[in-house]
Chains A and B, each alone.
Chain A
């Protein structure tokens, strides 16, 4: 819009498309990559070569940031809280230093930022839903960074955009001062400066009658400038994504990037989280076959559901068994205890049938038998939320997978009520999340509600680093965090655990890596 001239329409449009496509994807060797500003409109794709690993690693870091950003409103964070929360996240995953910092990393950081944006742009251009989410989150990220930018550097960046705005002269101000102030609601000693743009550039200000209009020119107060820049960023990105979507099918044919891009876009459904050994509570207490019932209060809905089905039918089918066994392994249940657990649970099954049909699978899950030697070392990894959310949904009536995804909303709500989640507002929130396919957000919402008191305490007393309270992306993380929160006092006091003094226990908690 900024410099779009109205040449005869159809031809001009066609040409623009071709041209922009060229620009987006051609190997443009003519442009040296320099990053004079911290902020970036990402108008040109990166042209340098980078290693495939970096390509993926940078994109995953950006994905992490976007996922955290997306979770903020769902977790009822105010804009100020979001800003507060995102600062360390960005610092950790996508640091961008100012020019003034004179950091030697400036160019490398900006390159990472540039490349990772474009990687994700390609990865998320495939469906309208992904495009929309990506554009929205990138715009939020851009807005945050612009807010944090050094005022002078921000000014330099905005000036570099060559947006077609013109400052209102002193003469014009004198002529229209009353109208200008009334239209743009300038009070008291607020800065009396305005700029002019074609009204089509600020439809939202026109719609709310918050600018002065004169013959198609909108007189806009300077305070609107940053939101205009963000709007422009969104507009450019949205059209860029549309172009990428049309181009993508051709890239698929012969490209090493395709699997990576596919994986990344899957990760956006729910960011992937690897299982970490520290999700086990084996270092605090020793779970046994007999304690699973008691511990199940800390299980996420997917596992609670399996547990309930198992207790109800004294049986679970293959996939449910596999999912649950791996989870139990993840919480620290030993192979021996696990076998005992299943043996007792399948109480209608005779011993020899159990041995011949089920035992092998349990041992296999623990890496005790089968598979190649490498794999046997650890067996299968407990399933992450992403795995549960992206694998083929179970055939009807089967309880495995993620209930937030597999259950019809009404059935999901009854299930939640059956496990004691009854708060109406909370259930309404879950319903909305699920409606928007934000399944892991719904699960996090339930978690935060169930542990609100403890989370508050942890925050207020700064007991844990903030990263230990970020979005849960793994059932075992859910369990461990729930367990720790509900046993907050005991873990700290060292009442739980079988060895070592209490101080070490709490030290362990703090070192917990996710």
Chain B
């Protein structure tokens, strides 16, 4: 998947060298960047005769990764803060109408808790005040480097501009709105952001059979559950993180936001290291794979233990990924033993309707019958383990995690395509989370009306105590978020007390080697 990537905000040549694998990109979300490059690279915007191509390019909003992208440095501070798209998607669903969004921000969006979550305190800090927000406006305009002194000012701008979504970026060294006043562009640099992860169902297209592209169902949602479990376990057990917020991305994936101070302060080197620790390089289409070393690293060993039950049910039974002869070919490619694959091919040719479960069992049967030519029994066990990993291990969109200045769609915004709210996922009841029943913005507004109708007899005084979000199915999600944020703030206040003490004692000396 293409990513809008950014140059580092430092103008420093050395930083550019280190980041030389990154290319400059327009300050635009991935989808805009992608469309822009589509139009400039392959098809100059047609003025006539090619309308259908143009439309087909823009109407499928879903194929674009629509909720994360990285920020771009203000190399020329006068440019890049506003980016007018060249064309509009043909028709925006009703969810993005300014009227609905205004009501949503006015009545439902939990600004207070979002503020505290990003601010790490109840009183405004640079953590929030110098943080970049980027707005995608209903017209499609994209506005970068928004920042707000208080939660209320933030809320006011949302109500006024009715962004169809907004992204959260890093805290910068200075207020993003003041960046143009700096004498040196390099003085404007990102200094802190939550560690984030993005798991997107499209990365599972090679192994899922139930849906493809933007679609999801409860069968393939299981892959997201599996990924959340594995990543969450590694973040907690291996890295010791405790403040991990999982959020439904509104359509077909999930995001993680890790707010531990140690995670927020990671530079790009550490972010990249951590992301790559979690990423398992899978075989490519040709089935050629980078060998997974044995004995398995404890992280992979633990992951397999988590994933093994899902292999039988979610993969073999639900997805039945090797049912057809063409798909079975993929399995054979993953078995590096000619004798074995010949025997299996023969068997499956004569009984073509065998299920994936049966075919998986056939491997051992064929091996026991003496068909192994190059692999030892132990190597076959490893090869089968590799296959299990390939079909169950999380497929992270790791680029999102590697850069401090990458922006990611905020929790609780409305997904413009589905209308669903990007609600947090409570990992204690992870298996119960059903993305298909997550409320849409129109559901919620209707629920408010229904509640008001049903409580017509209530006194005005009583009624005023109930906030609008409490009248809706958003209630549980907001309450979960509120509790989560309270836990974070509690930890943070302990930390800052400790920090002040250390500062008083150690001072600058402790910074040195």
CB distance from B4 to the nearest CB of A (A): 24
Q: How far is the CA of A181 from the CA of B15 in the complex (A)?
A: 37
Chain A residues whose C-beta falls within 8 Å of the C-beta of B241 in the assembled complex: 216
Asked whether, in the complex, the Cβ of B239 is within 8 Å of the Cβ of A216, the reply is yes
Q: Is the CB of B368 closer than 8 A to any CB of chain A?
A: no
Contact B240 A216 (CB under 8 A): yes
Interface residues on A, range: 35 or more
Query: Is B46 positioned at the interface, with any CB of A under 8 Å from its CB?
Result: no
| Bound CA span A215–B240, Å | 4
Interchain CA distance A161-B512 in the complex, whole Å: 12
Q: Is B237 engaged at the interface, CB distance under 8 Å to the other chain?
A: yes
Interface size on B, residues (CB 8 A): 46
Contacts of B17 in A (CB 8 A): 128, 132
Question: Across the interface, which residues of A come within 8 angstroms of B511, CB to CB?
Answer: 3-5, 7, 12, 15-16, 19-20
Report Cα–Cα, A2/B512, bound state, in Å: 8
Pair A15/B192 contact, Cβ less than 8 Å: no
Question: What is the CB-to-nearest-CB distance from B436 to chain A, in angstroms, rounded to a whole number?
Answer: 36
B298–A206 CB distance below 8 A: no
Q: Which residues of B contact A213 (CB under 8 A)?
A: 237-239, 277, 299
Chain A positions within 8 Å of B261 at CB level: 6
Question: B273 contacts which of A2, A7, A204 (Cβ < 8 Å)?
Answer: A204
The answer to whether B512 and A19 touch across the interface, beta carbons within 8 angstroms, is yes
Contact B237 A215 (CB under 8 A): yes
Cβ of B338 under 8 Å from chain A: no
Instruction: Decide: A182 and B296 in contact? CB cutoff 8 A.
Output: yes
Instruction: Decide if the interface of chain A is mainly helix, strand, loop or mixed.
Output: helix
- Asked if A131 CB lies within 8 Å of chain B CBs, one says yes
Q: Taking the complex as formed, is A291 at the interface, i.e. its CB lies under 8 A from any CB of chain B?
A: no
A53 sits at the interface (CB 8 A): no
Q: Which residue of A lies closest to B296 (CB)?
A: A182
A8 interface hit (Cβ, 8 Å): yes
A493 to chain B, nearest CB (A): 52
Contacts of B191 in A (CB 8 A): 9-10
Least CB distance from A210 to B in Å reads 8
Residues of A within 8 A of B12 (CB): 128
Q: Roughly how many angstroms separate A9 CA and B141 CA in the complex, as a whole number?
A: 35
A203-B506 in contact (CB<8A): no
Q: Does B499 contact A (CB under 8 A)?
A: yes
Smallest beta-carbon distance B271→chain A, Å: 9
Rounded to whole angstroms, the CA-CA distance of A185 and B262 in the bound complex is: 28
Contact A8 to B513, CB < 8 A, known contacts A128-B13, A182-B296, A215-B239: no
Q: Is the CB of A182 within 8 A of B295?
A: yes
CA distance A217 to B12 in the complex (A): 33
Q: Is A5 in contact with B510, judged by CB distance below 8 angstroms? A: yes
Q: Is the CB of B297 within 8 A of A182?
A: yes
Given A128-B12, A129-B13, A200-B266: A3 in contact with B297 (beta carbons within 8 A): no
Whether B24 is near chain A, meaning CB under 8 Å from some CB there, is no
Contact with A along B480-513 (1 / 0, CB 8 A): 0000000000000000100110110011111111
Chain A residues, CB < 8 A from B192 = 9
A183, CB-defined interface residue at 8 Å: yes
Residue from the set A11, A131, A181, A207 with the largest chain B CB neighbour count within 10 Å: A207
Does B276 sit within 8 A of A, measured CB to CB?
yes
Contact check, A206 vs B277: say whether CB atoms are below 8 A apart: yes
Which residues of the other chain, B, contact A23 by a CB distance below 8 angstroms? Answer: 512
A8 pairs with B500, CB closer than 8 A: yes
A216 to B302, CA, bound (A): 17
| 0/1 string, B272-285, CB within 8 A of A gives 1 | 11101100000000
Q: Given the complex of chains A and B, what is the CA–CA distance between A5 and B507 in angstroms?
A: 10
Are the C-beta atoms of B270 and A183 separated by less than 8 Å? no
Query: Contacts A7-B499, A19-B508, A216-B239; is A209 near B272 (CB within 8 Å)?
Result: no
Q: How far is the CB of B437 from chain A (nearest CB, A)?
A: 36
Annotate A9-41 by CB proximity to B: 1 below 8 A, 0 otherwise.
Answer: 111100110111001000000000000000001
Chain B nearest CB from A161 CB (Å) reads 8
The residues of B that contact A349 with a CB separation of less than 8 Å are none
CB distance from A175 to the nearest CB of B (A): 13
Known contacts A182-B295, A212-B298, A7 near B506 by CB under 8 Å: yes
Q: Is the CB of B274 within 8 A of A206?
A: yes
Q: Are A162 and B513 in contact (CB under 8 A)?
A: yes
Chain A nearest CB from B267 CB (Å) reads 9
Evaluate contact between A132 and B273: CB separation under 8 angstroms: no
Q: Are A20 and B512 in contact (CB under 8 A)?
A: yes
**A8 and B503: CB pair below 8 A?**
yes
Q: A8-B499, A8-B500, A182-B298 are in contact. Are A236 and B513 (CB under 8 A)?
A: yes
> Which chain B residue shows the least CB distance to A215?
B240
- State which residues 186-222 of A face B: CB under 8 Å: 199-200, 203-204, 206-209, 212-217
A234 vs B301: C-alpha distance when bound (angstroms): 34
Contacts of B496 in A (CB 8 A): 8
If A8-B500, A9-B192, A216-B262 touch, whether A207 touches B506 (CB-CB below 8 Å) is no
User: Quick one: which of B280-317 are within 8 Å of A by CB?
Assistant: 293, 295-301
Q: Mark A63-97, 1 if CB is under 8 A from B, else 0.
A: 00000000000000000000000000000000000
B272, closest chain A residue (CB): A207
Instruction: Return chain B residues, CB-CB under 8 Å to A209.
Output: 277, 297, 299-300
Would you call B269 and A203 a contact (CB within 8 A)? Answer: yes
| A43 interface hit (Cβ, 8 Å) | yes
CB distance from A136 to the nearest CB of B (A): 11
Residues of A within 8 A of B507 (CB): 15
Question: Is B265 part of the contact surface with A, judged by Cβ < 8 Å?
Answer: yes
Is A5 a contact of B506 with CB atoms below 8 Å? yes
A contact residues around B262 at 8 Å (CB)? 6, 200, 216
Which of A5, A182, A185 makes the CB contact (< 8 A) with B301?
A182
Question: B89 near A: Cβ within 8 Å?
Answer: no
Name the CB-closest residue of A to B278.
A209
A150 CB-CB contact with B under 8 Å: no
Q: Is the pair A206, B273 in contact by a Cβ cutoff of 8 Å? A: yes
Asked if B512 contacts A199 (CB within 8 A), the reply is no
Residues of B within 8 A of A6 (CB): 261-262, 265, 499
Per the 8 Å Cβ criterion, residues 128-145 of A in contact with B are 128-129, 131-132
A169 in the interface (beta carbon within 8 A): no
| Chain A residue contacts of B270, Cβ below 8 A | 200, 203
Cα of A216 to Cα of B241 in the assembled complex, Å? 8
Q: Confirm or deny: B417 has a beta carbon within 8 angstroms of a beta carbon on chain A.
A: no
Residue of A nearest to B299 (CB): A209
Q: Are A16 and B508 in contact (CB under 8 A)?
A: yes
A487 lies within 8 A of chain B by Cβ: no
Instruction: A507 to B237: give the CA distance in the assembly, Å.
Output: 71
C-alpha gap A394/B301 in the complex (Å)? 64
A41 to chain B: closest residue by CB? B513
B80 in contact (CB, < 8 A): no
- Contact of B298 (CB < 8 Å), options: A15, A127, A183: A183
B445: min CB distance to chain A, Å: 42
CA distance in complex: A209, B273 (Å): 9
What is the CB-to-nearest-CB distance from B136 to chain A, in angstroms, rounded to a whole number?
A: 30
For B503, the chain A residues whose CB sits under 8 A away are 7-8, 11-12
Q: How far is the CB of A438 from chain B (nearest CB, A)?
A: 15
Beta-carbon contacts of B1-28 to A below 8 Å, as 1s and 0s? 0000000000011110100000000000
Instruction: Give CA–CA (A41, B262) in the complex, Å.
Output: 27
CA distance A498 to B240 in the complex (A): 81
Which B residues are in CB contact (< 8 Å) with A15?
507-508, 511
A199 touches B239 (CB 8 A): yes
Taken together as a complex, chains A and B put the C-alpha atoms of A8 and B298 apart, in Å, by: 35
Question: Which residues in A have their C-beta under 8 angstroms from that of B14?
Answer: 128-129, 131-132
Given A19-B512, A127-B13, 16 more contacts at CB 8 Å? A8-B503, A10-B191, A18-B508, A19-B509, A20-B511, A128-B13, A131-B14, A132-B17, A182-B297, A203-B272, A209-B299, A213-B237, A213-B299, A214-B240, A216-B238, A216-B240
- Cβ-closest 3 pairs across A and B: A216-B240, A215-B240, A203-B273
Residue positions of A touching B, CB distance < 8 A: 2-12, 15-16, 18-20, 23, 41, 43, 127-129, 131-132, 161-162, 179, 181-183, 185, 199-200, 203-204, 206-209, 212-217, 236
5 examples of A-B residue contacts, CB within 8 angstroms: A5-B502, A7-B510, A9-B192, A19-B508, A131-B14
